[in-house]
Amino acid sequence: MGTLKVDNLQKENGSAVITNGVISESILRSSSTAMIKIATATASSSSEVAFDNTVFTSAYKSYVIRINDFLLSTNTDFRFADSPDNGSTISFTSKYGYEHALLGSASVGGSGGSDTNYHEFPGWNHDASDPKKSNFLELHLPYFTQAQTNKLYYATYMHQNHNGNPYRVNIAFESSLTTAQNYIKFMGASGNITKGDFTVYGIVE
């Protein structure tokens, strides 16, 4: 049996199914696909990594951001901040709570607190010494582009701590912001993001 190879494919009504070898986003959204990859960015000694209102639109209510193989340049905590006006204003109170487990051990714990104008993974200092070990993070932004009484986010964080130990951290954040958000940026509490691959997905609901 032969293989049909096409760069462009249209429905009978002329609407695009495949354009330049890529299935259209509208087709994927109407299928059973759960997540649509929207944007990517790669950090390389970057002060921050940001995604703006060209990424966060009303096409999706909720988003997931995966950050793979990332490191900070100093032994410091990882942060992010969101904005309703494409980054012009970053002003909010963040409340957080987390529980963690030390891999290879029965050691578990948790804590909580609050911050101003940023969300932080508190106490989880990156290990900037050699040999450097990568971190992995999946951040969920439910109803990010919708108005809510308050914004709630949650994440799973596979973390290499500056004490040399690996941890699994589950953490949730509550923001004082109530309006639709269209911007997010990631940064360290100090220094740069040495490396990291950032991918934003829209959730099909």
Confirm if 102 and 167 have CB atoms less than 8 A apart.
yes
Confidence category of residue 138, pLDDT binned at 50, 70, 90: very high
H-helix or E-strand containing 29? helix 25-30
With H, G, I as helix, E, B as strand and everything else as coil, classify residue 173. Answer: strand
**155 or 34, which is more confident?**
155
Residue 163: per-residue pLDDT: 86
Confidence of residue 10 (pLDDT cuts 50, 70, 90): low
Judge whether residue 4 has pLDDT over 80.
no
Q: With contact defined as beta carbons under 8 Å apart, do 79 and 188 qualify?
A: yes
**What's the Rg (C-alpha) of the chain?**
19
pTM for the whole structure: 0.84
Share of the chain above pLDDT 90, in %: 69
The residue to which tokens 């989880």 are assigned: 124
Task: Render pLDDT for 162-205 as a digit per residue (tens, 0 to 9).
Answer: 888 899 999 999 999 999 999 999 999 999 999 999 999 999 98
Q: Provide the pLDDT for residue 180.
A: 97
Residue 35 pLDDT > 60: yes
Lookup result for tokens 């049909």: 4
Query: In whole angstroms, what is the distance from residue 50 CA to residue 166 CA?
Result: 27
